[in-house]
């Protein structure tokens, strides 16, 4: 990856020590890489799994990348979004002062995601 390529998108999932829990997120990242034709879709975890966001930033910075966007794969803005992620971003800023991280809103509050949840719920009710 070089700085001339598109800004990497980092998917941030909660994390679990169970590999089977991580499988859907790994598949999502792989599918997105194919969909956008780019290796610039990365996956990291908040806790209990590797890589972490800091690990990904280290990897990107070592490759000469100077920025990324982070998409939290959370349903709502809870403690991780309001406290833990800002703490991680502070640590990234300390270790990589020139690296720019853009934190996107949690996916669960995106209008398209909410519409999908409504549709799936309606289908479940009518099944």
pLDDT digits (tens, 9 = 90+) for 8-50: 999 999 999 999 999 999 999 999 999 988 889 999 999 999 9
Cβ density class 42-80: b for 16+ within 10 Å, e for less: bbbbbeebeebbeebbbebbeeebeebebbbbbeeeeeb
- Per-residue model confidence (pLDDT) at position 106: 96
Token output for 91: 């640590």
Residue 93: CB atoms within 10 A of its CB come to 14
Q: Would the pLDDT of 4 be above 50?
A: no
- Per-residue model confidence (pLDDT) at position 3: 38
Average pLDDT over residues 114-125: 95
- Per-residue model confidence (pLDDT) at position 5: 63
64-118 pLDDT, tens digit per residue, is 999 999 999 999 988 888 999 999 999 999 999 999 999 999 999 999 999 999 9
- Per-residue model confidence (pLDDT) at position 38: 83
Q: At 80, is the secondary structure helix, strand, or coil?
A: helix
Annotated domain spans of the chain: 9-126
CATH 3.30.420.590 fits 9-126, yes or no: no
Q: What is the pTM of this model?
A: 0.89
């Amino acid at each position: 990856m070089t700085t001339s390529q598109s800004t990497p998108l980092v998917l941030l999932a909660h994390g679990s020590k169970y590999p089977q829990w991580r499988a859907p997120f790994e598949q999502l990242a792989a599918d997105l890489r194919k969909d956008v034709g780019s290796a610039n879709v990365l996956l990291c975890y908040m806790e209990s799994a590797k890589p972490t966001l800091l690990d990904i930033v280290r990897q990107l910075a070592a490759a000469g990348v100077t920025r990324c966007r982070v998409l939290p794969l959370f349903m709502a803005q809870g403690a991780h979004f309001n406290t833990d992620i800002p703490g991680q971003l502070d640590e990234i800023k300390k270790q990589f002062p020139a690296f720019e991280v853009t934190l996107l809103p949690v996916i669960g509050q995106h209008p398209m995601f909410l519409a999908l949840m409504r549709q799936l719920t309606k289908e479940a009710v009518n099944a």
